[in-house]
Amino acid sequence: MAMVSHTRDDRDDSRIVAASLEDAEAFGELFRRHAPRLHAYISRRLGRTLADDLVSETFTTAFRRRDRFDGRTDFGAWLWGIASNLIARHHRQETRMYRAFARTGVDPAEDAVAERASDRASAAALGPRLAKALASLRPQDRNAVLLLAWGEMSYAEIAAALDLPLGTVKAKIHRARIKLRSALPKEHNDG
């Protein structure tokens, strides 16, 4: 008789979610696959310390609700949706950091990071202006445009993560981009 065995790597995310209902250990693979990118994204929005907490909370929540993941949506989008809701709770903290950056030219989010000179140089010119504009965006518009710019997600993925119609996502991003563009100096406006 042929002995078939499967290694965990072969399985797609939704299979692993299903397997994790019985074998909690299986969920660790999903952490391995998704945590690094999600952590980088949340770090960029809220700083690294809060990002540690929110990644933890996102996966704890996802693990607890894994029975409600029906596999019809992409697991990544579902996970980022949970994360987006958690980030939204820190809306005021996020806005305060943008404002402080705009006011002082020093980004509190990057406090803990050993910055390389190149980052500092490229960010220095436009960072505070962008931060000021980001602070003024509506929470959902900011969410959508940052999922695009920092989360490197497609419009369709953003729509799935935020559970919004595609058209709505496009409108939000369009609105946000106009506001951000107006914050840039004129010579940067022609791209």
Partner 1 sequence: MDEMDALRQMRTALAQEEHPDRLALRTAWRSDPAPRRRRRGFTIPLVSVAATAAAAVTAVAVLAPGGSGDGVAPGHGGRGAASGNVLLAAATSAEKAPTGRYWHTETVIGQIYGVGKSAANSYEVDARQRSITWVGQDGKGSLAIVDELGHPVAAKDMIKWRQAGSPEMVDVPNPDGTGVVTQVEMSTQASRSPRTTPARPFDGDYFGLSAEQVAQLPTDAKALENTLLNLRGNWHAVSSTPEKQPIRSLRGAERTRALSEVASTLLSKAPAPPRVRAAAFRMLATLPGVKVGGTATDPMGRTGGVVSMPMVTTMPLGLYTAPKQLGTYERQWIIDPAGGRLLAIRDLVATPPHGSRALPPGDDGRPRRLRATDMPDRFLKTGEVASYQVFAVAEWTNTAPR
Q: Do 133 and 182 touch, CB atoms closer than 8 A?
A: yes
Q: Which residue has the tokens 């990057």?
A: 110
Check binding of 43 to partner 1 (CB under 8 A).
Answer: yes
Contacting residue, 131, 137, 144, 159, with partner 1 by CB under 8 A:
131
d(CA 45, CA 42): 5
Check binding of 77 to partner 1 (CB under 8 A).
Answer: no
DSSP annotation of 190 reads T
Which two tokens mark 77? 């989008």
Check binding of 39 to partner 1 (CB under 8 A).
Answer: yes
Nearer to partner 1, 7 or 92 (CB): 7
Check binding of 9 to partner 1 (CB under 8 A).
Answer: yes
Contacting residue, 19, 77, 100, 135, with partner 1 by CB under 8 A:
19
Amino acid at 182: S
Check binding of 18 to partner 1 (CB under 8 A).
Answer: yes
Contacting residue, 96, 138, 174, 181, with partner 1 by CB under 8 A:
181
Nearer to partner 1, 23 or 92 (CB): 23
Nearer to partner 1, 91 or 120 (CB): 120
Q: For the chain, where are the alpha helices, taking DSSP H only?
A: 13-20, 27-46, 48-64, 75-88, 91-104, 117-136, 139-149, 155-162, 166-183
Check binding of 12 to partner 1 (CB under 8 A).
Answer: no
Point out which span in 42-50, 72-80, 86-94, 156-164 binds partner 1 (CB under 8 A): 42-50
- Cα-based distances in Å from 73 to 14, 30, 34: 9, 15, 15
